[in-house]
Amino acid sequence: MGTFRNTLLLATGMMAVTATAPVMAQGQTSSSGIVLEEIIVTAQKRRQTLIDVPQSVSVVSGATLEKQQANTIQDYLKLVPGLQLAQDTPGQGRLVMRGVNTGGVASTVSVYMDETPFGSSTALANGAILAGDFDTFDISRVEVLRGPQGTLYGASSLGGVLKYITNEPNPQGVESRSRVGVETVKGGDLSYSGNTMINMPMSPDFAVRASGYYRKTGGFIDSIGTAGSDQASNINDSQSYGGRISALYAPDSGFSLRLSALLQDIKADAPSTVESDQESIAMLYGRPTFSQFVPSFRDIRYRVYNATAQYEAGFADILSSTSFSSQKQASRIDLTYNLSSLIQGAFGTPNELYMGQDTNVEKFTQELRLTSSEPGPFEWLIGGYYVHEKAELLQGYTAVTPGTLTPIAALPLLADVRLPSKYEEFAGFANATVHLDEQFDVDFGARYSHNRQKASQTTDGALAGGTSVYPDIRSSESVFTFSAAPKYKLSENASIYVRVAKGYRPGGPNPLPPTAPADTLRQFDSDTLISYEAGAKVQSADGMFSADLSVFHLDWRDIQLIAVVNDYGINVNGGKAKSDGAEGTLTFRPMRGLELSANAAYTNAKLLDDTTPVIGGYDGDRLPFTPKFSAALNGDYSWDLTGDIIASVGGSVRFLSKQQASYDATYRAATGHQRQLPSYQVIDLRAGLDFGNFALDAYAKNVGNSKGRTSTASRLSSGMPVFPGGALATGIIRPQSFGLSLSTNY
């Protein structure tokens, strides 16, 4: 068996921002009557107006996330052009930006919580499908940086960075907010949620902020007894709960210390996948079904701890960020349909079978940065970074008495696989902006990274060929990344830029079976991506209109892929791919209270070489889970209903063209092309009444009950069907839902 392992001025109530608004004081009213609020963007790890950031950045404010009931990444995809999520279970998803995805096991998008990088840096702990999906209640904003960010954010940011910025404790006064909600879903169980936050000043220079939440999400997929599977309703329910606490000590304007902790658990039962026809992708039984023999679950635990100290030293501002994070996934995966007959044939025992898998990652990071403190013709930033990561992937196969979870004692150990690994990295980086004159700037960045790793693997059991110990395999490599971005400011309200940047994903060791051929690679290398981007940012002086437009070409080389040696999965380097595209966001505020926005992305991402057979991609195939065209329209309008009540209505429409499914060599050999997922659109509506200290909101998601697909999984590498009737298992978006929420604010 294998182991596969700114300051930006934001119009009140606006949805998502990728273009800047006019430079005005916070809370100032423009000539058009639009009230603007100031938020901070730290895309380049220093304070900048967004119009001065020479790259494509999207910002979604915390207020927008709450207004749209956007609790997870899936909920706010419509607000960010070019961002996709391939997902079949809450907490388990693959982020894709600008098409950078071939289905490998290491992430191409880096996730940050404030100053803390989260998730695995390596290809040995399934980091690609375990992107951190943090709850969004009481956060300041989400920043999305598209394109490689190798100079400032380092490893595994080939496609970009998704960054959660939390609200800091406020020593100026007590704040309290709470929200409760209830939601129905077509054909499924009731959902309900609760959130609360309190900010408490302890002294003029010390404050604590704490928040907590609980969310139960009702299931909507049934197991209907196909091929002897269970008969059970709404098997894919889930719950998520946790909290954050942060303390800020700022005794004077030159020093601050912030301590923070986040704890979040996501507990999901069966995956949100449905059995679909291999060709049409239509649901096989006319409604969402999934054949369950052994009840599945996936439990994920996030823990993030950080200490950030800042000091104004005169010549420079000094920042130290010390973090420890852990991510632990425990799962039970039903493999009855494709393996139980094998066990019965070998041992004569009727059975149902599951794989238990644990994936554990613990990560310590330390970053130290010095940033020039005064504006001038030359602004600079230098820093050092260290990370130490321990990961372990555990798999065990268990046969149970049908209809129970009781292991069959008469059977021998079937399979037990353990893959521990360690990753250590040292890096130094620098960034500088040279202001050649009042209009023309050039931004430079560079980073040198060195990592060393080791891993080993032990296996045991009848399906694993008995006991084997694959000795420690070590690797080390050094990588240099860079960026260069000239920018020309046409006026205070318009700028154009070009950017060239390199990103990378670390290589690592391959623990191999002792019987592996002598020429099998014991180490795989990093893959690299160079991006060429040009863009324009424009805003009107009165705040009524803003636009952010960019075009790009990505050159991706030495792509990390999965291969199989003696039935064991290993990582290897493949060939090349490219991605060409354009992205844009337009925002229009024709009158006070009304905001309209549109965003769109065109992405033509293709392989330029064949992948390994187990991946199943061929030269010319589009890269998976990236629609060639996607677009979204958003609109919100608020008005004074009475002197004390503000009413609001809004809506969103998101469209995705057809997209490439997971590569499938068997299907391609039979049809001459890869499987395509159909296009789809989603309509959301919302309305609310704000009474000052409390508000009532109603919403409808997926009003048209679209059945958009988000993932595919149909066959093992042997071509054996995984699901009854040769069904294709496809992740599906949540059906039509209606909800109410009540919030208080003091």
Rounded CA-CA distance 104/577 in Å is: 14
Q: What token pair was written down for 261?
A: 């902790």
Residue 267 near residue 257 (C-beta atoms within 8 A): no
CA 20 to chain centre: 24
Rounded CA-CA distance 67/434 in Å is: 40
**Could you list the residue range(s) of the whole structural domain that residue 66 is in?**
8-745
Residue 58 near residue 76 (C-beta atoms within 8 A): no
pLDDT tens sequence across 189-219: 999 999 999 999 999 999 999 999 999 999 9
**576 — pLDDT class (breaks 50, 70, 90):** very high
pLDDT above 90 (res 40): no
Least confident of 56-65, 228-237, 599-608: 56-65
Phi-psi category of residue 717: left, alpha or beta, with phi > 0 → left and psi -120 to 50 → alpha: alpha
> Is beta strand 440-460 parallel, antiparallel or unpaired with respect to 468-491?
antiparallel
**Contacts of 256 by beta carbon, 8 Å cutoff, 6+ apart:** 248, 249, 250, 309, 310
The enclosing H or E element of 345 equals: helix 336-347
Closest CA to 581 of 657, 508, 522: 657
Examine residue 629 and state whether it is found in any structural domain, yes or no: yes
pLDDT above 70 (res 283): yes
Least confident of 7-21, 30-44, 145-159, 405-419: 7-21
Write the CA distances from 152 to 160, 449, 480, 552, integer angstroms: 11, 11, 12, 20
What pLDDT does 7 receive?
Answer: 26
Q: What is the pTM of this model?
A: 0.92
* DSSP reduced 3-state for 665: helix
Please give the mean pLDDT across all residues of the chain.
Answer: 89
What pLDDT does 310 receive?
Answer: 96
Rounded CA-CA distance 713/484 in Å is: 40
DSSP assignment of 183-236 = EEETTS--EEEEEEEEEEEEETTEEEEEEEEEEEE----BEE-GGG--EES-TT
Examine residue 1 and state whether it is found in any structural domain, yes or no: no
Rounded CA-CA distance 530/169 in Å is: 39
Residue whose entry in the numeric block shows the structure tokens 């079949």 = 88
What pLDDT does 30 receive?
Answer: 52
**245 — pLDDT class (breaks 50, 70, 90):** very high
Examine residue 678 and state whether it is found in any structural domain, yes or no: yes
Closest CA to 62 of 136, 129, 157: 136
pLDDT tens sequence across 644-672: 999 999 999 999 999 999 988 888 888 88
Closest CA to 89 of 219, 276, 231: 219
Examine residue 575 and state whether it is found in any structural domain, yes or no: yes
Burial of 455 per CB tally in 10 Å (0-12, 13-18, 19+): buried
pLDDT above 80 (res 35): no
What pLDDT does 141 receive?
Answer: 92
Q: How many residues does the chain have?
A: 746
Residue range 233-252: mean pLDDT, rounded: 96
Residue range 388-399: mean pLDDT, rounded: 95
Quickly list H helices, 348-432: none
pLDDT tens sequence across 162-187: 999 999 999 999 999 999 999 999 99
Sign of torsion over alpha carbons 455, 127, 359, 394: negative
What pLDDT does 19 receive?
Answer: 32
What pLDDT does 16 receive?
Answer: 35
Examine residue 3 and state whether it is found in any structural domain, yes or no: no
Write the CA distances from 349 to 1, 378, 411, 589, integer angstroms: 20, 75, 8, 69
Rounded CA-CA distance 698/685 in Å is: 9
Rounded CA-CA distance 7/375 in Å is: 15
pLDDT tens sequence across 685-699: 999 999 999 999 999
What pLDDT does 519 receive?
Answer: 67
What pLDDT does 417 receive?
Answer: 92
pLDDT above 90 (res 319): yes
Q: What is the CATH number of the domain that holds 209?
A: 2.40.170.20
Residue 668 near residue 662 (C-beta atoms within 8 A): no
pLDDT tens sequence across 68-110: 999 999 999 999 999 999 998 998 899 999 999 988 888 999 9
Residue 240 near residue 264 (C-beta atoms within 8 A): yes
Examine residue 551 and state whether it is found in any structural domain, yes or no: yes
pLDDT above 80 (res 36): no
The enclosing H or E element of 147 equals: none
Residue range 572-584: mean pLDDT, rounded: 95
Examine residue 655 and state whether it is found in any structural domain, yes or no: yes
Please give the tally of structural domains in the chain: 1
pLDDT tens sequence across 667-688: 888 888 999 999 999 999 999 9
Examine residue 668 and state whether it is found in any structural domain, yes or no: yes
pLDDT above 50 (res 15): no
Give me Rg for the CA atoms of the chain. 26
Residue range 259-270: mean pLDDT, rounded: 97
Q: Count CA within 13 A, CB hemisphere, residue 141.
A: 25
